[in-house]
Amino acid sequence: MTYPRRVVVTGLGAITPLGNSIETFWQNLTGGKSGAAPITKFDTTKFKTKFACEVKGFDPSDHLEKNEIRKMDPFVHYALASTAEALKDSALPLDSIDKTRVGVIWGSGNGGFSTFQQEMVEFGRGDGTPRINPYFIPKVIVDIASGWISIKYGFMGPNFTTVSACATSTTAIIDAMNYIRWNKADVFITGGSEAAVNEAGIGGFGAMKALSTRNDDPARASRPFDVDRDGFVMGEGAGALVLEEFEHAKRRGAKIYAEVAGGGMSADAYHLTATHPHGLGAALGMKWALEDAGLSIHEVDYLNPHATSTPLGDVSEMKAVVNFFGEKPDHLHISATKSAIGHLLGAAGAVEAIIAIKAIETSVIPPTINTQNIDPELPAGLNIVTGTSLEKEVNVALSNTFGFGGHNASAVFRKVRQ
């Protein structure tokens, strides 16, 4: 499919368990490091899972004013810090650009989760008097990150948030791409952030038996596709992308990382939390993404799958991959980077989109770490990159994200054609 307005990526920013900048993050990811470690944010003595992929060494005062920090939940701290890096990277001329043509679509699955927990715990300790922080609601609501970004920079274009559980920030990227295609804006700040490493987050996912309990070896707990995987590892952080209309970017001489070629969204229509056992919804999302991009299955070089390291989810996704790409797609390499950074929930899609884009830019596919024995239940004939990074020219990369409720989103990135 051909669109009169093409969309490209001109800026990247990241706050992750492997580093608080794009450069540090990419270096550690391709170097095969793990971001998992014992939780430091609360006492895990009575929790079955005692580790996570926390953001490390992040001080909001390095990025924000003191009076701003107290009005924000950590998920907004991460959003603004990653956005600042992405805007600097893009060299967007903020003093002269038409800010009515710059929009923000930012995703989060949970919003101010930590703030909500903190306020309700304090209320429960009291005598019933509602001594609620006046910033409670603005800190909690999911759309507030996109609001803060627009306020801080004066961006007056379309502004909203997407929520599709763990597909959230991929949905945000697809929406931003389409708004530029539709000539509703020339530039979008998009991505997602999450800060759910707290008692409610770890306790809630733990109650579902979704989390790994490999407490004796956290760094190797996230092991997608491995026969011994026992659940996902919670992550946190943010990924920010500057999307720009291609001619607009060219006119200002912008550095262009890749083109956002297409996106596909679908529903499993199957179960509240489980993926479809045959991956029917996942296959539809990939199919529609490639159709939207005008590409064939034979042109995809790299797939960054959802692959959270859960026993059922990994198998159903790879069934979808085989059903869609064929039983032995020799051209396609797959690496599951949640093995290194954990599952960032609503921010996963943005950070993994960045990984796909960096793979195109650098011709390096990061590894699936920790995976030693591929589960025999998985389809055979898949090129899963394990152990160390793979040097390979990547012209087209596909990123998958799936969320509770049966939400599926796939985004396609490609090298820019002039």
Q: Looking at the 3D structure of the chain, how many domains does it have?
A: 1
Alpha helices in 109-198 (DSSP H): 113-125, 136-140, 144-153, 168-181
The 10s digit of each residue's pLDDT in 338-348 is 999 999 999 99
Name residues whose C-beta falls within 8 Å of residue 41's C-beta, 6 or more positions apart in sequence: 54, 197, 198
pLDDT digits (tens, 9 = 90+) for 190-213: 999 999 999 999 999 999 999 999
In a domain, 36, yes or no: yes
Amino acid code (one letter) for 296: S
Please name which of 313, 165, 167 lies closest in space to residue 231, comparing C-alpha atoms.
Answer: 313
Tell me the β-bridge partners of 51. 38
Assigned domain for 145 exists: yes
Q: Does 185 fall in a domain?
A: yes
**1 domain-assigned:** no
Domain annotation covers residue 3 = no
> Which residues are registered as beta bridge partners of 409?
265, 401
CB burial of 125-153 (b: ≥16 within 10 Å; e: otherwise) equals eeeeeeeeeebbebbbebbbbbbbbbeeb
Q: Which residues contact 152 (CB under 8 A, 6 or more apart)?
A: 80
Contact call for residues 144 and 112 (beta carbons, < 8 A): yes
Distance between CA atoms of 336 and 352, rounded to whole angstroms?
9
Q: For residue 27, what is the domain's CATH number?
A: 3.40.47.10
pLDDT tens digits for range 366-398:
999 999 999 999 998 899 999 999 999 999 999
Answer whether residue 363 is part of any domain. Answer: yes
* Residue 350 within any structural domain of the chain: yes
Mean pLDDT of each 10-residue bin along the chain, 418 residues long? 89 98 98 98 98 98 95 98 98 97 98 95 92 95 98 98 97 98 98 98 96 98 97 98 98 98 96 88 96 97 97 94 91 97 98 98 98 93 95 98 95 93
Residue 141: inside a domain, yes or no?
yes
In the sheet that holds 102-107, the strands lie side by side as 159-162, 102-107, 187-194, 237-245, 7-15, 258-267, 407-414, 396-403, 302-304, 333-334, 383-384
Query: What does the chain come to in residues?
Result: 418
Catalytic positions, written as ranges:
166, 306, 343
Range of the domain at 349: 8-414
Q: How much is the pTM?
A: 0.97
Q: Is 342 left (phi over 0), alpha (psi -120 to 50) or beta?
A: left
